[in-house]
Structure 1
Amino acid sequence: MGGGAARTRTFRLSAVSLALAVLGSLTACAEGHDEPSIVVTTNILGDVVHSLVGDHAAVTVLMKPNSDPHSFGISAKEAGAMEDADLIIGNGLGLEEGLSANLDNARSEGVRVLEVGEHIDPLEYTSGGSAGTPDPHFWTDPARMVAAVDVITSALGKEVGDDLAEAIEPSVTSYRGQLDDLDAEIEEIAESIPAEDRKLVTNHHVFGYFAKRFDFEVIGAVLPSGTTLASPSAADLEELARTVKDAGVPTIFADSSQPQKLAEALSDEVDLDVEVTALFSESLTEADGEAGTYIDMQRTNAQAIADGLVPR
C-alpha cells in the first residue's frame, strides 16, 4: 500500500508539473504573438528603428554589417519573416535592388511596406548614369534623418498601434535630440574645412545629401552612378582623372563595403599625391566597430572627410 500511494503521489505531481509547463508554453506563445513584428531592410535604418522601439517590438534587420545595400540577399527564413511582419520599413528609392521581389511578395500578402525615402523630399542625381533619378542616400544628411524618424514613428502608430506609439514617445524624443546634436557637430566639423577645399570625389554617387546640407561640391565619382553595380569605362576614368588633377583634390573617398581597386586605379592615373580613404557610407559595421551605430557612422565619416580635405 505504501509503495502504491507513493507512486500515486508521484504521478499526481508529474501531472501538475506537465500542466504548468503546457500553460507556460501557451502563455509564451500568446505573448510572442502579441509582440509587434517589424522587419527593416538596411542596417542603417535598423539601428534607427531599434533606437526608437527598444524592447517594445521584435525588430528583424535583413542587411548584415559591412554589406552592400544594392546587392545583398536574404535567406528563405528571412523572406518568410517579411511576409509575416506587422510592418516592413525600407529605404526605398531603388536602393535595395536585390529585395524587390521579396517586397512585392510581402505586399501581396497584405503586409504594409514603408519606403522611407519617398517621404523625405528626395533629391535627384545631377550627373552620371543615374542623372534625373531619385537619390536614395538621404541618411548622409542628419537633418533629413530627423524627418525620417517622424515618418517611421507615424507609420508605427498607424500600422502597428497607438499603444506602441505611446510607449516609445520618450525614446523618439531622445533620439531626435541626438540627431539634432549630431547635425550641429558635423556642421562644426565641416566649417573647419576651407570652403574652396570642400570638394568630394567618391567611389560612386553617395554623398549628394551630405554635400547639399554642409556646402560641399561633389565633383566626380569613380563609378559614375548611384549604384555600386555600375561599371566605369576607360573614358569615364580618364575624365575623372583630369577633374581630380585640375581641382587639386588630395583624397578620394571609397565605400568601406566595396574593394578600393577602382579608386586606387584612379589615383594611379593622377599625377598628384592622392590618397584613398575608406568611409562607412552605406553600411554599419559590427556593434563594436567604428560605425556600429548610425550616429557613430556619421561622426566618423565627417571627421575622415575633414582629415582628408583640410590642407596639411
Structure 2
Amino acid sequence: MKHRQRTFVAAATAAALVLLGGCGSGDDNAAGGGSDAASGNKLAVVATTPEVADFVRNIGGSDVTVTQIIKPNVDPHDYEPTPADIQAIGNAAIVVKNGVGLEKWLDQTIESAGFKGTVVDSSQGVTLREGGHEESEGGQDEGEGEHEGEEHDPHIWHSPLNAKTMVANIEKGLAAADPAHAAAFAGNLKNYSAQLDKLDADNEAAFAKIPADQRKLVTNHDAFGYYIDRYKLQFVGSVIPSLDTSAELSAQQLNDLVAKIKATGTKAIFAESSLPPKSAEAIANQAGVKVISGEDALFGDSLGAEGTPEGTYLGAEQHNTQVIVAGLGG
C-alpha cells in the first residue's frame, strides 16, 4: 500500500505541475493563493477530512476559503491523493489535518506540493485511546496528538469534548496566520463551542433513557471508541475488526461475533455510510438481528452529502445518536 501511494504521488506531482501552469479559480472550494485577490484576500486553507473542513468553516467563517480534500462518504483510511489535491496544498497558507495517523498519505503529498506553510494538527492535546476496544476495552492513554500511528484510535471527533479541543487548535492556527481577523475567529470559537456543549448534553440525555444493559453496539468497524467511552455504551464487536477498514473477519472471528451478538442480546448491527453493508447484513442474518443501513447508516468516517443537515459535524452526530438510540429500543 505504501509503495502504491508513493508511486501515485510521484505521478500526480508531474500532472499537478501541468495544472499549476494554467489553472486558477476564485471558487470557494478551489485552490487559491495564501491570501490573494482571487479569493478576496481570504486565508486559503486546505482541510483533509469532512469533519475537519466543517470545523474550519465554522471557526474561519467568511474570512477563509476552504478546500476539502476527502469528499463525503469516501473512506479516509485508504485515500490516495489527486493532482488537484497537490495543487490545492501547494497554494494554501495552512493545511489542517485530523492527525493521529488518519492521513497516512499527507506528509508525502505535502512534500510533493512544495508546501511551505503551516500544518495545524487538530488532535493536539486530545487524550488518545490506545488501540481498539478488543485490545484495550476502552482504556485511554495520556499521549498527545502528535504521537501518531495505528496504535492510537484516530476517530477522535466522535466525542464532542474532543471536538472542542480540535476547534480550539484550529482557531489558534487561523489566528496565527491571519492576526487581523483573530477577534472574529475567537468569537466564532466561542459560539461553536457552545453548540458542541449542547450536542454533548443532548447525547447524554438521549442515552439516559436507555437502560445500561441495553447500550450494546456492533458497527462496521471500530470507529466509535471515543463515543462509546463518552456515553458509557458497551462495544460488542465490529464487522471489520480494526480501527481502519483494511482488515477482514476470519471465519472464526465471524462465528465468534455472531455468538457474542446472541449471547449479549444485542439488538442490531449498525452499518456505516462510507462502507458497503453486505457483510453486516450477512452477520445480522446469521445472528438473527436487524441491520440498520441505508439512510439510517451511521456516519463513522465521514459526514453526509453537502447541503444536508448530516453534511455538518453537528448534524451527522445528531443523526448518529438518534439512530443508535432508536435501534437500541429507546
Q: TM-score range by the shorter chain?
A: 0.7 to 0.9
SS at match of 1:55: helix
Which residue of the other structure, out of 271, 276, 279, is the alignment partner of 1:262?
279
By how many angstroms is 1:71 displaced?
2.1
* RMSD, matched Cα: 2.2
1:147 matched to 2:149? The reply is no
Alignment equivalent of 1:300, drawn from 295, 315, 319 = 319
Determine the structure 2 residue equivalent to 1:235. Answer: 252
- 5 Å matches for 1:63-142? 63-105=70-112, 109-128=115-134, 133-142=151-160
- Quick one: which amino acid aligns to residue 146 of structure 1? K
Deviations 1:162-182 (A, max 9, x none): 223222222211111111111
Report the Cα offset of residue 94 of structure 1.
1.9
Structure 1 residue 290, shift from structure 2 partner? 4.9
Match of 2:14 in 1: none
Q: Of 181, 185, 190, which aligns to 2:202? A: 185
The answer as to whether partners of 2:132 and 2:222 remain within 8 angstroms in 1 is no
CA distance in 1, matches of 2:205, 2:133: 28
Q: Equivalent pairs: percent with the same residue?
A: 33
* Conservation of the 8 A alpha-carbon contact between 2:217 and 2:233: yes
Q: Distance in 2 between matches of 1:178 and 1:47?
A: 13
- Runs of 5+ unmatched residues, structure 2: 1-34, 138-149
66-75 or 213-222, which moves further after superposition?
Answer: 66-75
Change (3 A) 1:245 1:164: same
So what's the TM-score if we normalise by structure 2?
0.79
> What's the counterpart of residue 207 of structure 1?
224
**Matched residues in 2 for 1:87 and 1:80: separation?**
13
Moved more, 131-140 or 82-91: 131-140
Deviation for aligned residue 1:130: 9.9
Moved more, 229-238 or 66-75: 66-75
| Distance in 1 (alpha carbons) for counterparts of 2:196 and 2:263 | 36
Q: 1:3 maps to which residue? A: none
- Contact 1:38 1:60 (C-alpha < 8 Å) held by counterparts: yes
**CA drift at 1:98:** 4.1
Relative to structure 1, is the Cα distance of residues 171 and 118 closer, same or farther in structure 2, using a 3 angstrom cutoff? closer
Write out the 4+ residue segments of structure 1 that deviate beyond 6 Å after TM superposition: 129-132
Q: What TM-score comes out, normalization by structure 1 length?
A: 0.83
Displacement, 1:33? 7.9
Structure 1: gaps spanning 5 or more residues: 1-27
Contact 1:125–1:208 (Cα < 8 Å) also in 2: no
